[in-house]
Amino acid sequence: MKSYLIDSDKGIDAIQKVDVTEVSPGAGEVKVKMKAASLNYRDLIVAGGGYIRNDTRPVVPLSDGAGEVTEVGAGVTRWKVGDRVSPIFMRDWIDGAVDSAKLKTGLGGGVDGVLAESMIVREQSLVAIPDGMSFAEAAAVPCAGVTAWHALFESGNLQPGQTVLLLGTGGVSIFALQLAKAAGARVIITSSSDEKIEQATAMGADMSVNYSKHPEWHKHVHDLTGGNGVDHVVEVGGPGTLERSIKSAGVGGHVHLIGVLDSPGAKISPMLSVFNLLTIRGIYVGSRQMHQRMLAAMTVNQIAPVIDKTFSFDDAIAAYHYFASQKHVGKVVIEF
Amino acid sequence: MKSYLIDSDKGIDAIQKVDVTEVSPGAGEVKVKMKAASLNYRDLIVAGGGYIRNDTRPVVPLSDGAGEVTEVGAGVTRWKVGDRVSPIFMRDWIDGAVDSAKLKTGLGGGVDGVLAESMIVREQSLVAIPDGMSFAEAAAVPCAGVTAWHALFESGNLQPGQTVLLLGTGGVSIFALQLAKAAGARVIITSSSDEKIEQATAMGADMSVNYSKHPEWHKHVHDLTGGNGVDHVVEVGGPGTLERSIKSAGVGGHVHLIGVLDSPGAKISPMLSVFNLLTIRGIYVGSRQMHQRMLAAMTVNQIAPVIDKTFSFDDAIAAYHYFASQKHVGKVVIEF
Amino acid sequence: MKSYLIDSDKGIDAIQKVDVTEVSPGAGEVKVKMKAASLNYRDLIVAGGGYIRNDTRPVVPLSDGAGEVTEVGAGVTRWKVGDRVSPIFMRDWIDGAVDSAKLKTGLGGGVDGVLAESMIVREQSLVAIPDGMSFAEAAAVPCAGVTAWHALFESGNLQPGQTVLLLGTGGVSIFALQLAKAAGARVIITSSSDEKIEQATAMGADMSVNYSKHPEWHKHVHDLTGGNGVDHVVEVGGPGTLERSIKSAGVGGHVHLIGVLDSPGAKISPMLSVFNLLTIRGIYVGSRQMHQRMLAAMTVNQIAPVIDKTFSFDDAIAAYHYFASQKHVGKVVIEF
Amino acid sequence: MKSYLIDSDKGIDAIQKVDVTEVSPGAGEVKVKMKAASLNYRDLIVAGGGYIRNDTRPVVPLSDGAGEVTEVGAGVTRWKVGDRVSPIFMRDWIDGAVDSAKLKTGLGGGVDGVLAESMIVREQSLVAIPDGMSFAEAAAVPCAGVTAWHALFESGNLQPGQTVLLLGTGGVSIFALQLAKAAGARVIITSSSDEKIEQATAMGADMSVNYSKHPEWHKHVHDLTGGNGVDHVVEVGGPGTLERSIKSAGVGGHVHLIGVLDSPGAKISPMLSVFNLLTIRGIYVGSRQMHQRMLAAMTVNQIAPVIDKTFSFDDAIAAYHYFASQKHVGKVVIEF
């Protein structure tokens, strides 16, 4: 079967397409014929060599995928042939809190990912795809969707009536918008593009700030909230936005730091955090149980992931380039 | 000014209408000209003498009201003349956890209530009525709305995608239905009337059980949830329903016990609670801060309290009788 | 090798000692040579056929044991030969919340237990025994110790300065006493024996009630707490005590219901739960992570399980009989 | 009566001692004859003009005091003449979460403090001094003790067996040491002085790092914790320590940021926070209910505040200078 492979730090164009001998699942494992995958900003960093700490070489790229069970190993009880499944982002983070060993099992980084015609997965490391959700949609949620869910509901305990600030219209922000609106919250979204703001408003955003017009956009956020600031910020924007995000939070507010768009140069001034009794929490995707709870929430609220554009398995490198150009609103998907 | 007064345990018809000399607010107090009030099942019990432990005599009846500030006492900073306000259910429960002293300050029971043309209220014991909400609507929420909010969000930490079981179509259940749907949950409602089930479905209930047709209705609830049981039960039904409510909850589920419809005869078998690791929690309205958070959630989600019928101040006794006949879906309101 | 086996509901004397062919661990499994086991009240119920719902027949009895790894299967990463380990109570409850599938994997009930010269265990279903803790001590903690830990710290969030009521001097109560004192809480213990009260006082109990002298002992508890009631009750006593336990809790208090000593006849009146805003929560042992956290707490606080008496592997039936006679304070242990 | 007064930003020597006309308490207020006060680092900043945002001029200095009720105003129910009481740090933060209005009511900053022979206090803004605790001891706890309590127990949910890192031997760190040990945790303390480390060890610290000998002290912390890092850091050290504090925390760990020793120049790199899923939370003293819970914990665990040195009311300026010289371990107290 065909598989893509990263064996260098030289970026997108160094990703190879190779032939791999198929194997059968061992005890406790299943074989999944992949049907779809999707891209995240983190996948660009992995290809460029940025996540050295947890990454291995060579590695099959991409964390987010979906497929069908075609073979089950000895002792498997959770799945049968024909089941529609999606691998979880961190292979060994099933439930509860994470630890440093589990953090090393991110698909497409620490362990092999989904960009292959089939893969062998431990039976504990898969979730069922809900009825009515396509393979492409299921492949769109693991990294960005679970991150948004983890921030707002597992860590932030979002309540109806609270206000959430989202930065831009990338994958995490769009999932956070859909989930926060389904949960009865009020959403403020920032963007540099009036067109993207219009799209977000059509998806339910209550208020918006065009930060290219309002460079001091945190002041605008305070104006929009009667001077109180917001209850939650999902901070995905990195060095350019972090300080203003913190200033946008109200007393007792939560700033959810999302890893992948971060940069070593970003700094937080702690003074404001203390006087406003802020909680700043690092969020790095989540567990299988979070993944399942998010899928349940999507099902009950009929939330479909927003898919910007779809590429074929053979055009995976083109998908990478399109994604890197940052023209998308929502997810870039590869269908097999 | 006119005020109603309970000075016996002889029930509705013993409630008197009396003339009271008006007084001015003291330091830290405001005077509120009342515009609306609403009835709760607890008010029938108070009139009948059932809540002896915390009740005083004589007492101005009813906990739920709304009005306009007409005079402010010395040192008042939270309000000015003309502000639209609603007294909180328990005068001294402002924030945090409750204690036995605060429990004795329920309006229309432990201290004077709202069924009077004007009342003196401590400035800390009022909430602002949101723009766009009428006095009648604001008067509909304190007891039933805050109870539903407390159960689902403060105690139960309801998440989108979870399933909530509601019993009947009384005040607490209807608020719980509106709030749970706004928060992205799935709702199952029980009733003995297909007509009431239809009304609840029109308001968003996802599934229903007619318990007069399904006396073993907890089994039906398990069927509706794929055998899992529900995440939350808001138990308002008392002795006839308690055991089945507990059986309807899934492993790790929450049973929120609401006080006012309860009866001393109701019993819980603990065995099932242990093996299913259930949390059974007594809920008794809530604090001012819960009241404010609930109003914020109603505002963001454009939830209007469901008002069944409105009576005039002079017809307050007729309102009690109509309420006692249990024909209503939603709240019975008195407008001044 | 020798193993005990339960293949009936006929009680202690029907437990057989049999010869079993030794097998090697499969992939992801290890073989543990057992060194010690301990008894819990639940083991009497299993032998008598009382836990039908989750039990299998035939089954190797007892949940609590400790031993040494003698062989590791393919792919095992958590253990090596020579490691000192203890199986967790519920084989599949590793972390996070429990579900109905995991509840069926209790050792010595739903799946084979520890009363055998060796056993095969999945590598995820073991914890490491801390340095300085003997096999007998490690075998004393899984059921009773993890239950006490789960109640007080995972569910009850016990804080220093709070008051805990413990009923009697059985396994769960003694662990709860040791852990609550280590955590800076105040402990009240009940017993019908002044001698047992003396022993508990020597172990740190701050106050006590002899319930044979004070049949209305909940009133005594209120006296001891300045009329406030306690913050936590660890209710292990069953039908005879449940109602008074609930009455002993203060406003906002927690009643932790422990399964094994419970009986179908016990009933809870919900009225008091509501008016005192109590939380009543079913506790059924706990996860591997809770087990590990409890062992860490025991290590830091130099807590040694209290062992009442030790029997040999060949005298296991005598150990059962001694345990059933309820003369012990602390744990009854079998050493291999 | 005599009172000290700050009416400039010119530092300690500009604090004046003035004569003030005594007044009687109004409705809901009590008069307290002060018996003791204590100093905190924040008081130096206030005297120097550093907390402009929330401070008023002129202001009676110091937040921490204790005294006796000598007169009660109309309607007061919580206190009577002769009661031993201590004002809370933030006058209006009684319970629940803080907001921006409450944040402006810090004694000795936003509103008048305790360095006067008597003061008028709202009855809600006092706590009772436990029996057996002296005025000097009660005056030692409000700012530093409540901060340590808030960090570890209200925000951090410290459990027995967890590891806490404390920086230095200032007021907050010493309270945190006493409380963490009472709660069954393991404590690592840093200092530049072997003598201070010896004192901390005598008070229960389990491990220590002399950071003048180990400039890369976070690595030493990892060595002391088997490479895991700590569960909690109480970060009081400011710019020079913040980055290493964050590096000392384990995966999922908590960094509690304490305000007063902070400086605008301190910066946090968010990358590590994300990858280790850290929670960084600003802590700013706490509510009256936290103050009461802390006093209960001190009472049950017989914790006495560590008092370094005592000055007379007339020598208050000398007390400031001694405190500013940073020679103390524990609290500097003024007795009236």
Cβ-count burial B223-258 (b if 16+ within 10 Å, e if not): ebbeebbbbbbbbbbbeebbebbbbbbbbbbbbbbb
Q: Are C68 and C33 in contact (CB under 8 A)?
A: yes
Does the structure show a pLDDT above 70 at C195? Answer: yes
User: What confidence score (pLDDT) does residue D26 get?
Assistant: 94
% helix / strand / coil in chain D, to the nearest 5? 30, 30, 40
Q: Tally C-beta pairs within 8 A across A and C.
A: 25
Low-confidence spans in chain B with pLDDT less than 50: 260-262
CA distance B82 to B105: 26
CB of D271 within 8 Å of any CB in chain A? yes
- State how far the alpha carbon of A169 is from the alpha carbons of A165, A172, A206, A243, A304, in Å: 12, 8, 14, 19, 16
Instruction: Please report residues of C whose CB lies closer than 8 A to that of B250.
Output: 100
Of A192, A65, A27, A241, the residue nearest C76 (C-alpha): A27
What chain A residue is nearest to D254 in terms of C-alpha separation? Answer: A281
User: What confidence score (pLDDT) does residue C241 get?
Assistant: 85
Q: Are A331 and A305 in contact (CB under 8 A)?
A: yes
Closest CB from A27, A75, A95 relative to C94: A95
CA distance A6 to A56: 9
Instruction: State whether C161 and D186 contact (CB < 8 Å).
Output: no
SS3 of A155, please?
Answer: helix
Kindly tell me the burial class for residue D322, based on how many C-beta atoms sit within 10 Å of its own C-beta (0-12, 13-18, 19 or more): middle
Q: Is the CATH number of domain D145-282 3.40.50.720? A: yes
Q: Are C318 and C13 in contact (CB under 8 A)?
A: no
Are β-strands C118-122 and C126-128 bridged in parallel, bridged antiparallel, or unpaired? unpaired
CB of B289 within 8 Å of any CB in chain D? yes
Q: Are D291 and D88 in contact (CB under 8 A)?
A: yes
Whether the model pTM is above 0.90? yes
What chain D residue is nearest to C298 in terms of C-alpha separation? Answer: D161
**Average per-residue pLDDT for chain D:** 93
Instruction: State whether B270 and C257 contact (CB < 8 Å).
Output: yes
Mutation target to probe the B interface, by most B beta carbons within 10 A, among D94, D95, D99 is D95
CB of B88 within 8 Å of any CB in chain C? no
CA distance A273 to A253: 9
Does the structure show a pLDDT above 80 at A238? Answer: no
Q: Are C118 and C70 in contact (CB under 8 A)?
A: yes
Q: Tens of pLDDT along C40-81?
A: 999 998 998 776 567 788 999 999 999 999 999 999 999 999
Does the structure show a pLDDT above 70 at C25? Answer: yes
User: What confidence score (pLDDT) does residue B172 get?
Assistant: 94
Residue C95 to chain A, least CA–CA distance (Å): 5
Residue A299 to chain D, least CA–CA distance (Å): 28
Instruction: State whether D269 and A273 contact (CB < 8 Å).
Output: no
Closest CB from A159, A295, A300 relative to B153: A159
CB of B274 within 8 Å of any CB in chain C? yes
Strand partners, B6: B59
Instruction: Please report residues of B whose CB lies closer than 8 A to that of A296.
Output: 161-162
**Average per-residue pLDDT for chain C:** 93
For chain B positions 6-35, those within 8 Å of chain D (CB to CB) are 26-28
Strand partners, D235: D257
Domain range annotation of chain D: 2-140+305-335, 145-282
User: What confidence score (pLDDT) does residue B201 get?
Assistant: 97
CB of B152 within 8 Å of any CB in chain A? no
CB of A301 within 8 Å of any CB in chain B? yes
User: What confidence score (pLDDT) does residue B262 get?
Assistant: 47
Instruction: State whether A274 and D280 contact (CB < 8 Å).
Output: no
Does the structure show a pLDDT above 70 at C264? Answer: no
CB of D275 within 8 Å of any CB in chain A? yes
Instruction: Please report residues of C whose CB lies closer than 8 A to that of D293.
Output: 159, 161
Instruction: State whether A289 and C97 contact (CB < 8 Å).
Output: yes
CA angle B94, B96, B102 (to 5 degrees): 55
Confidence tier at D133 by pLDDT (50, 70, 90): very high
CB of B73 within 8 Å of any CB in chain D? no
Instruction: State whether D273 and A280 contact (CB < 8 Å).
Output: yes
Instruction: State whether D274 and A262 contact (CB < 8 Å).
Output: yes
Q: Tens of pLDDT along A270-286?
A: 777 888 999 999 999 99
Residue A96 to chain C, least CA–CA distance (Å): 4
CA distance D210 to C134: 35
Mutation target to probe the C interface, by most C beta carbons within 10 A, among A76, A79, A93, A95 is A95
CA distance B161 to C333: 46
Q: How far apart are the first and last CA of chain D?
A: 12
What are the E-state strand segments in chain C? 2-5, 16-19, 29-38, 64-72, 84-87, 118-122, 126-128, 163-167, 186-191, 207-210, 230-235, 249-258, 279-283, 307-312, 331-335
CA distance A212 to C59: 70
CA distance A316 to C302: 58
User: What confidence score (pLDDT) does residue C262 get?
Assistant: 47
Percentage of chain D modeled with pLDDT above 70: 95
Instruction: Please report residues of C whose CB lies closer than 8 A to that of A100.
Output: none
Q: Tens of pLDDT along A84-122?
A: 999 999 999 999 999 999 999 999 999 999 999 999 999
Mean local confidence (pLDDT), A187-199: 95
Instruction: State whether B293 and A182 contact (CB < 8 Å).
Output: no
ipTM of the shown complex: 0.95
Of B146, B156, B154, B167, the residue nearest B262 (C-alpha): B167
Mutation target to probe the D interface, by most D beta carbons within 10 A, among A275, A279, A287 is A275
Give the ranges where D59-170 is alpha helix by DSSP (H): 100-103, 135-140, 142-149
More confident residue, D100 or B266: D100
- C251: its two tokens: 């406003």
Topology (CATH) of A2-140+305-335: Quinone Oxidoreductase; Chain A, domain 1 (3.90.180)
Percentage of chain A modeled with pLDDT above 70: 95
Of C186, C127, C119, C126, the residue nearest C152 (C-alpha): C186
Neighbours of B275 (CB within 10 A): 18
User: What confidence score (pLDDT) does residue C304 get?
Assistant: 96
What chain A residue is nearest to D251 in terms of C-alpha separation? Answer: A99
Amino acid making up residue B72? V
Closest CB from A271, A273, A284 relative to D275: A284
User: What confidence score (pLDDT) does residue D262 get?
Assistant: 47
User: What confidence score (pLDDT) does residue D241 get?
Assistant: 85
Confidence tier at D329 by pLDDT (50, 70, 90): confident
Strand partners, D6: D59
**Average per-residue pLDDT for chain A:** 93
Does the structure show a pLDDT above 80 at A21? Answer: yes
Using DSSP, how many helices (H) and how many strands (E) does chain D show?
A: 11, 15
Q: How far apart are the first and last CA of chain C?
A: 12
Instruction: Please report residues of B whose CB lies closer than 8 A to that of A161.
Output: 293-301
Mean local confidence (pLDDT), D241-267: 81
